[in-house]
A and B are shown apart, each in its own frame.
Chain A
């Protein structure tokens, strides 16, 4: 029963990553840093738990593969749209941050539009 051991180890690693992600959500100083901690680590943790259940029960493997593919596709999309929305909403970066490429790009784009017209 080697696959049951592999499934249990994957489930344990996934729960550890979920706990680390929510500790990052509490500890980080900024919306964007919290988004970084709260979406990447959560994606890895949820994928690990779901594939662990699929390996532990081999008759569930196809459904867990579909769920994990869906999470892998849609979680970056939702985090990207949240980051773009909060940047356009005007939420400032934290004090120690040194670079904001998106604001520079927006400024440059607006200037080019003005020059064209």
Chain B
């Protein structure tokens, strides 16, 4: 693991922590949904970085499935907030 990857992981984990802070303190429920959306996209990029570190191609499939499930979850949450059809 090179030193550039350590810096990259420091940045990405700090980004995840900041979006988790917004997920906890968000005043309305919509803020929490936006923070969750951001956090899932950051997590997809982080899973792809795992395949860069461990030299395994299987993490790319995991990242694809995680992206599909996160998109479905955010859209379902938005439809629930809108309260209808």
Which residues of chain A have a CB within 8 Å of any CB of chain B? 8, 11-12, 14-16, 18-19, 21-23, 25-26, 31, 34-35, 38-39, 42-43, 45-46, 49-50, 53, 56-57, 59-60, 63-64, 66-67, 70-71, 74-75, 77-79, 81-82, 84-86, 88-89, 91
Contact = CB atoms under 8 A, between A and B. Distances in A.
A-B pairs, top 6 by smallest CB distance, nearest first, are A86-B30, A22-B18, A15-B11, A22-B15, A38-B38, A85-B82
A25 B60 contact: no
A22 B44 contact: no
Interface in B14-52: 14-19, 21-22, 28-31, 33-35, 37-38, 41-42, 44-45, 48-49, 51-52
Contact of B30 (A45, A74, A82): A82
B37 A78 contact: yes
B74 A78 contact: yes
Contact of A49 (B30, B45, B78): B45
B74 A15 contact: no
B1 interface: no
Given A21-B38, A22-B18, A11 B52 contact: yes
Given A18-B42, A34-B34, A82-B34, A70 B68 contact: yes
A21 to B, nearest CB: 6
Given A18-B45, A26-B21, A77-B75, A86 B81 contact: yes
A19 B14 contact: yes
A95 B73 CA distance: 31
B7 to A, nearest CB: 7
Interface string B66-83: 011001001101110111
Given A25-B22, A81-B75, A53 B49 contact: yes
Contact of A31 (B15, B30, B55, B68): B30
A74 B66 CA distance: 13
